């Protein structure tokens, strides 16, 4: 039985009440929740925060990534952690699926992945913030699998990313009218940024820039 993962320190810090950080006008910052697995739990949310700061946008990026999580595990985490209630995000950036293509006990068949992702989206979109708004969700495809790791990832994992999991994510975006960020295409164009399962630091910075590009117009409208 897998031990329940401890919340990463960055997430524990971000779960402090958002009222502790307010603008000069007394209004709280716009909250962006980065939700996903270890690719999210690493450094792209910190890079995204730095980009918002440089753009003089009053945004707080919450790192809600949990290492090792499949779509099913993250669904359970959302339901038990009260993450949405604690953070009340304006925007949620969702990227899951890499662990679902593993070949060990984490393997998730694509129809089940689709159902679990649908439940995650329902859970997020059903949340109501104190001001009556609901989070706006952005979806992302997952990066290619570029290496073989014995008992974890093999050629079937690589194939499932392109033929099954990313098509399922794109389908969800179309069906629900959600903005989609093509992280897969980013690393297909720049394989030097993805030496293993996880990007290098330049790759994480590139992910942050992708998110900023799609988020900035929404953030500016919300702040107006």
Tell whether 6 is covered by a domain.
no
Tell whether 21 is covered by a domain.
no
Tell whether 18 is covered by a domain.
no
pLDDT at 224: 83
Tell whether 2 is covered by a domain.
no
pLDDT at 13: 34
Q: pTM, whole model, 2 decimals? A: 0.88
CA dihedral 170, 222, 206, 167 (to 10 degrees): 0
Long-range contacts at 170-174 (CB < 8 A, ≥ 24 apart):
170/141, 171/114, 172/114, 172/117, 172/118, 172/121, 172/139, 173/139
Beta strands in the chain (DSSP E): 30-36, 59-65, 91-95, 136-140, 180-181
Residue 82 belongs to domain with CATH number:
3.40.50.1110
Per-residue model confidence as pLDDT tens digits over 80-97: 999 999 999 999 999 999
Tell whether 185 is covered by a domain.
yes
Give residue 97's domain range: 29-223
The tally of domains found in the chain comes to 1
User: Over the chain (224 residues), what is each successive 10-residue block's mean pLDDT?
Assistant: 38 35 56 98 98 96 98 98 97 98 98 98 98 97 98 98 98 98 98 98 98 96 88
Q: How far apart are CA 99 and CA 152, in angstroms?
A: 9
Q: By three-state DSSP, how is residue 152 classified? A: coil
Cα radius of gyration (the chain): 17
Query: 24 and 82 in contact (C-beta within 8 Å)?
Result: no
Tell whether 115 is covered by a domain.
yes
Tell whether 53 is covered by a domain.
yes
Per-residue model confidence as pLDDT tens digits over 138-162: 999 999 999 999 999 999 999 999 9
Tell whether 111 is covered by a domain.
yes
């Amino acid at each position: 039985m897998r031990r329940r993962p401890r919340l990463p320190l960055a997430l524990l810090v971000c779960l402090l009440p958002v009222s502790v950080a307010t603008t000069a006008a007394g209004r709280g910052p716009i909250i962006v929740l980065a939700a996903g697995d270890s690719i999210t739990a690493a450094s792209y949310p910190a890079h995204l925060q730095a980009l918002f700061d440089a753009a003089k946008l009053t945004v707080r990026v919450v790192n809600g990534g949990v290492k090792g999580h499949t779509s099913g595990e993250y669904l359970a985490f959302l339901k038990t952690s009260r993450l949405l209630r604690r953070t009340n995000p304006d925007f949620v950036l969702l990227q899951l699926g890499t662990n679902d293509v593993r070949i060990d006990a984490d393997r998730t068949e694509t129809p089940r992945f689709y159902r679990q992702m649908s439940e995650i989206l329902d859970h997020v979109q059903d949340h109501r913030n104190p001001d009556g708004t609901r989070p706006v969700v952005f979806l992302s495809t997952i990066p290619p699998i570029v290496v073989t790791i014995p008992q974890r990832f093999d050629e079937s994992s690589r194939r499932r990313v392109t033929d099954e999991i990313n098509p399922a994510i794109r389908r969800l975006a179309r069906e629900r009218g959600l903005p989609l960020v093509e992280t897969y295409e980013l690393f297909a164009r720049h394989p030097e940024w993805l030496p293993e399962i996880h990007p290098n630091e330049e790759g994480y910075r590139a992910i942050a820039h992708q998110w900023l590009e799609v988020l900035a117009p929404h953030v500016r409208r919300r702040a107006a």
